[in-house]
Amino acid sequence: MIGNRLRELRIEKGLLQKDLAEILQITQQTISLYESNQREPDNQTLIKIANYFNVSVDYLLNRTNIKNIYNEIPKTSINISDYHTLDKLGLPKEAIREIEDYIEYIILKYNLKATSKKRKKIVE
């Protein structure tokens, strides 16, 4: 049941039911029915709601308390352009080789004008 979550998200944004209804292109009565758990949105509407509030469908359905898993992933402070970066990560040589191969693949895929010397500088 998404009623409580929908109401909380709407109030956090400072929206009235009629405002959200207009945004989602549905009626205010439909929003009221959702919030009182008398009606469930169809999949398309559920996705619209999740996208508008930048939350996961799982959050709306009370399957998780994480609003959006992609916002919860910690950002790394490692800068890949620093040629010492891979050593700092403590990666095994096989992993470094895979990264080198992937960099080569990207260079070829996007027709980048990079020499193998430049590529080596990144991963050495």
Residue with tokens 């008398």: 38
**Model pLDDT, residue 52:** 93
Which residues 6+ apart lie within 8 Å of 33 measured at CB?
39
- pTM for this prediction: 0.57
- The CATH number of residue 39's host domain is 1.10.260.40
Contact partners, residue 27, CB within 8 Å, separation at least 6: 21
pLDDT score, position 119? 47
- Tell me how far apart the alpha carbons of residues 122 and 79 are, in angstroms, rounded to a whole number: 10
Is the same domain home to 9 and 62? yes
- Please tell me whether residues 66 and 101 are part of one structural domain: no
Residue 70's pLDDT is 65
Q: What is the pLDDT of residues 7-61, one digit of tens each?
A: 999 999 999 999 999 999 999 999 999 999 999 999 999 999 999 999 999 999 9
Compare 122 and 113 and report the one with higher pLDDT. Answer: 113
- The pLDDT, as a whole number, for residue 102 is 80
User: Residue 40 domain-assigned?
Assistant: yes
Tell me, yes or no, whether 65 and 94 share the same domain: no
pLDDT, tens only, 65-105: 888 766 655 544 445 555 456 666 777 888 877 887 787 77
Cα 68 to Cα 58: distance, rounded to the nearest angstrom: 9
Mean pLDDT, the chain, as a whole number? 80
